[in-house]
Amino acid sequence: MHSTIFRLSRTARRLQLTALAAVVLLGTLVAPSSSTATPSSVTAQPTYTTVVTDPNDTDGPLDLARVKHRIRVIDRTHTRIGYTVVTYSPYAARRLNIRHRHFVIELNRDNHPGAERNIRVSSVSGSLVGEVISNATRETLATLGVQRLDSRTIRIHGPRDLIGARSYFWTSTFHARESGHCGSDGGYPVTCQDVVPERGWIRMDRPAWPTLP
């Protein structure tokens, strides 16, 4: 089974001449990758959106159905990144925790093999938080708020230099003792984990690449 990648964008609803001018202006930005970015006007900054779907193939409530990232260019030095994850089943946010039940986004920031940072989404004191963690030192670099959009969807966003990347992948981890499939078997713990994409990494467009020292 393979993940399916769809590229989406906001479409300008202006006069044909204005739309044509926007396409010409954006040509050099869009060229580095296959994603598209269309502003609402000639002077607006582009937004890049990528959606990756995943099959219903993992036991437990954290089976990933769809992940999305949105890159919003504000100006030449400021870009905002948003990550969204949707599961097949609803789940209680309060049940997420750091050790047994959480989501993680692994961020490859320098284009060398491996991830330099990750974002761990769990519930702390009853509230969803996204901890930005250094993979080298395990230090928590920042804590971001997480939006609960509905019973299956959460979103996290922040500045490019904190959570931007060249590529990334999602994982979900679920373990509960009372779970028939994600609890224990013969006295041994069974953890249900899903990964998107199933192979490789999700590439991000150049505006999401962080500025590194």
Tokens (6 digits) for 42: 């000639």
108 band by pLDDT with thresholds 50, 70 and 90 = very high
Tokens (6 digits) for 109: 């920031």
pTM of the model: 0.80
pLDDT digits (tens, 9 = 90+) for 143-197: 999 999 999 999 999 999 999 999 999 999 999 998 889 999 888 899 999 999 9
What is the rounded distance in angstroms from the CA atom of residue 5 to the CA atom of residue 55? 12
Average pLDDT, whole number, for the chain?
83
User: In this predicted structure, what is the pLDDT of residue 45?
Assistant: 81
User: In this predicted structure, what is the pLDDT of residue 141?
Assistant: 98
42 band by pLDDT with thresholds 50, 70 and 90 = very low
Strand order across the beta sheet in which 64-73 lies: 4-8, 47-53, 64-73, 79-87, 153-159, 147-150
112 band by pLDDT with thresholds 50, 70 and 90 = very high
Say yes or no to pLDDT of 16 above 70: no
25 band by pLDDT with thresholds 50, 70 and 90 = very low
Give the 3-state secondary structure of the chain: CCCEEEEECCCCCCCHHHHHHHHHHHHHHHCCCCCCCCCCCCCCCCEEEEEEECCCCCCCCCCEEEEEEEEEECCCCCEEEEEEEEECCCCCHHHCECCCEEEEEEEECCCCCCCCEEEEEEEECCEEEEEEEECCCCCEEEEEECEEEECCEEEEEEEHHHHCCCEEEEEEEECCCCCCCCCEECCEECCEEEEECCCCCEECCHHHCCCCC
Say yes or no to pLDDT of 32 above 90: no
107 band by pLDDT with thresholds 50, 70 and 90 = very high
